[in-house]
A and B are shown apart, each in its own frame.
Chain A
Amino acid sequence: MVAIESVFGERIGSILRDSTGKIRSINQKYAKPQIKLSRGAKFALLFLRLYLIFLIVLLGYKFWTIVHGGT
């Protein structure tokens, strides 16, 4: 495995290593929701996921039309 330091140099490599370590610890700290979600709240979160998927599909479609010469 290639060490980060050998690619980015000693100083930047150590900053990147610290950052990835920090992100990992944030993910561990907030791995699970810390409040009890009601049925309504769970439904709202499901709606949000579907809404985001819809927007991503829409953005993807727009990108596709631009690439293929549309507006």
Chain B
Amino acid sequence: MDLLSKFYFNYSRIIKTIKIYLLLAGPGLIVMIADNDAGGITTYAATGAKFGYNLIWFLVLLGPVAYFVQEMTVRLGAVTKHGHAEAIFSAFGSFWGWFSLLDLSIVNWLTMVTEFIGMTAALSIFRVPPVITVIIVVFVMLGIVMSGRYWTWEKITMAFCVVNLIYIPAAFLIHPSVSDIFRAGIIPNFPGGLNGELFFFLMANIGTTIAPWMIFFQQSAVVDKQMKEKDIPWGKVDTAVGSFFTVVVAVFVLIVTGTLLFGQNISDAGAAIVAIMPINSYVGVLFAIGLFDAGFLGAICIALTSSWAFGEVFGWAHSLNYKVKEAFWFYIFYFFGLITAGAVVLIPGAPLVLITLFVQVIAVTLLPAALVFLIILLNNEEIMGKYKNTLFDNITNISIVMCIILISTLYGISTLFPNLFG
């Protein structure tokens, strides 16, 4: 009887914990899974096709990296109740404020174009014309945000996050050798030596793990969700769970392409689907659904990031808790970003490859600044009080930030000058 009551007590405690988590989960989970956007899936697919399972260990290492950076935005948002754009204006003045805001809006808009490229490529497998894809996506994205409740938007978006896990059944369908995955993927190794090509892939994977919009998005989402200081531990759990799933999805994409397309050069995720379809049409279809979902999640989060940032700085009502007529400019900005990014994909002969490359270069101009601002703000006792960075936080975060700045800069430079690293 005693054992039974203990079991029931523990059971109800676990259920209660899960319920609280589901109530407070959202920003961390969404930002991390949306990080596996169309560009991310392309990078993982190309990495798997080129190097097989050999770089799984590297993707696993990137999980904690993403966690440590994003965790800082939870604390900053919960303590200051301001988004990152507003925090930069307030703390560092208008020069850095305008630089961050304008750079963010350019890189976000270009990234949204790449999301639409991914979505149209994915649905073209089902013979859906790009124009129909763009129209439907824009209307669905409008419908999701127009409920007038942050909670509704968040839960619908989390449902799309679940679809992102579709790469897991896709991998099981092709029965990869588990022993091969562990033998090749778990022990750190550099297939073919650390040459220029491998280095480029490593940089691309880091570049897709931490993007500038993620920092702005999560902080604004924490504020919009009205999280308080007492919710910080849950925000951290949310971010940790999100970073776990982002790695899981990345690894399973790599397993799929590493099994089916090993040794091939894949230029984009759409090309990966085309190559997979003749081998296993079920996996090809799942891959296409996953790519569409990745682009959808990325576009919805990135469009919101820009709207939040402009709303914060210009003083517009900028919350998903407002109806359209209460936050007119916030929703107009969101809609305008989406519709123009979608329209670019429909222009015949638009330089889509150039846009995809340009995203990396522009992101490099913003990412170091956003990360440095984050570290400085998190070390300010006046702003953060007892939630400021500890010595351990600083050692970890500054090391990560310095590595990201160095590697993303090299990535940007190698995008500009492809022959530089051999």
Contacts and interface: CB of A to CB of B under 8 A. Distances in A.
Given A22-B314, A26-B314, A62-B417, A34 B368 contact: no
Interface in A40-66: 41, 44-45, 47-48, 51-52, 55, 58-59, 62
Interface stretch (B92-100, B147-155, B257-265): B92-100
Interface of B is mostly: helix
Interface of A is mostly: helix
A59 to B, nearest CB: 7
Contacts of A48: 368-369, 372
Interface stretch (B226-234, B281-289, B337-345, B375-383): B375-383
A52 to B, nearest CB: 7
B364 interface: yes
B313 interface: yes
B38 interface: no
Interface string B96-119: 110100000000000000000000
B413 interface: yes
A36 B377 CA distance: 11
A6 interface: no
B90 A34 contact: yes
Nearest to B417: A62
A32 interface: yes
Nearest to B383: A35
Nearest to A33: B93
B89 A26 contact: yes
Nearest to A32: B93
A41 B375 CA distance: 9
A31 interface: yes
Contact of A58 (B372, B382, B413): B413
16 contacts: A22-B314, A26-B94, A26-B313, A30-B93, A32-B93, A38-B379, A41-B379, A48-B369, A51-B368, A52-B369, A55-B364, A55-B412, A59-B361, A62-B416, A62-B417, A71-B418
Interface of B: 89-94, 96-97, 99, 313-315, 361, 364-365, 368-369, 372, 375-377, 379-380, 382-383, 409, 412-413, 416-418
Interchain residue pairs A-B with the least CB separation, the first 9: A30-B94, A30-B89, A33-B93, A35-B91, A41-B376, A27-B94, A62-B416, A44-B372, A33-B92
